[in-house]
Amino acid sequence: MKKLGYQDFAVLRRPLESGRQSPSSLAANLILAVFLQVIIHLAFYYLADSTNYPSIHQIRDVHLLATISICVLSILFAIPPVYKRLGAIQYLVSIIVSQNLFCIYPYIGGLILLGRNSQATKDFLANFTTITLEIGLLLFILTFIRFIFLLNKGKYRKGGKKDQLRGTFETDSYLPFVIAGGVGLVFVMQYVIRSTGIEDFGDFFFAMLLFAAFYTMIFVLPEQLVILYCKFRFKSFTFNERGYLLDEDDRKRIKA
């Protein structure tokens, strides 16, 4: 990506221009996320006692320590003097928070719900974890490769196809990956049904929704990482201390 100029990433700048990912907006989201993570972890704390998933209490405790660290960083980077000087780091923290809240928590929650099935053995749950993580890794690699390919083709240039026909183009270009993810989720469902049966359809259905959220966040992670890369490389992806989005040549400023 070093050969690409900031024009090649122009479409990724849109959320910054709109203000959705301005430092002040991210700060508010980080504070909200602290409360959401506390609430979700309390629910997981009690659910963990009713599951057969191996070492779930150790996983819960380790994840609790990680979440506490994330919450401390969230509060720190919600303070104006901090995020105004370290905008790129604030965005990195926001990525970690979003992935923890909408990827890691749903994944652990899905495993807990499946472990509530009395027929779900520890071997099955261990194999299931391996399979789902391998699918997630494959999805991330394929999505990242596709993203780099589109960048090199100029699809994210301002005025290009990605800019003019963003909705239609994304629907068409994401379709193979949506299908692949859907096939993977169906495979996971069949594996669960054939291996354990379904004692509680409610738990099973909600677990599948949580795994769908897990794969969705993996799908969007490459774009988050590329925007983070742009924040470290290009001035036009950063804000000054007054909250203005800078242009690459610093001649134009946009208030977010």
d(Cα 20, Cα 3) in Å, to the nearest integer?
28
Q: In the chain, at which residue ranges do the beta strands (DSSP E only) sit?
A: 244-246, 253-255
Q: Minimal CA–CA distance to 32: which of 214, 224, 40, 209?
A: 40
d(Cα 88, Cα 106) in Å, to the nearest integer?
26
CB 74 within 8 A of CB 31: yes
Residue 37 within a domain? yes
Per-residue confidence (pLDDT) for residue 169, from 0 to 100:
41
d(Cα 105, Cα 44) in Å, to the nearest integer?
9
Comparing 188 with 156, which gets the higher pLDDT? Answer: 156
Per-residue confidence (pLDDT) for residue 45, from 0 to 100:
80
Residue 175 within a domain? yes
Single-letter amino acid, residue 134: E
198-231 confidence digits (pLDDT tens): 556 677 778 888 898 899 899 999 999 999 999 9
pLDDT reading at 161 higher than 70: no
Instruction: Indicate if the alpha-carbon torsion angle 26, 66, 133, 140 is positive or negative.
Output: positive
Residue 1 within a domain? no
Query: Across the chain, what does the average pLDDT equal?
Result: 82
Per-residue confidence (pLDDT) for residue 197, from 0 to 100:
59
pLDDT reading at 130 higher than 50: yes
Per-residue confidence (pLDDT) for residue 229, from 0 to 100:
93
CA distances from 233 to 11, 92, 173, 238 (A): 16, 14, 27, 10
7-55 confidence digits (pLDDT tens): 888 888 888 887 788 899 999 999 999 999 999 888 888 888 888 899 9
Model-wide pTM > 0.85: no
Angle between helices 23-47 and 87-99 (to 10 degrees): 30
Owning domain of residue 13: 6-255
Residue 26 within a domain? yes
Over range 112-137, report the average pLDDT: 88
Q: Minimal CA–CA distance to 92: which of 229, 194, 250, 228?
A: 228
Number of domains in the chain: 1
d(Cα 191, Cα 210) in Å, to the nearest integer?
16
Per-residue confidence (pLDDT) for residue 236, from 0 to 100:
85
232-256 confidence digits (pLDDT tens): 988 888 888 777 887 766 544 444 5
184-206 confidence digits (pLDDT tens): 565 566 556 555 555 566 777 78
Residue 39 within a domain? yes
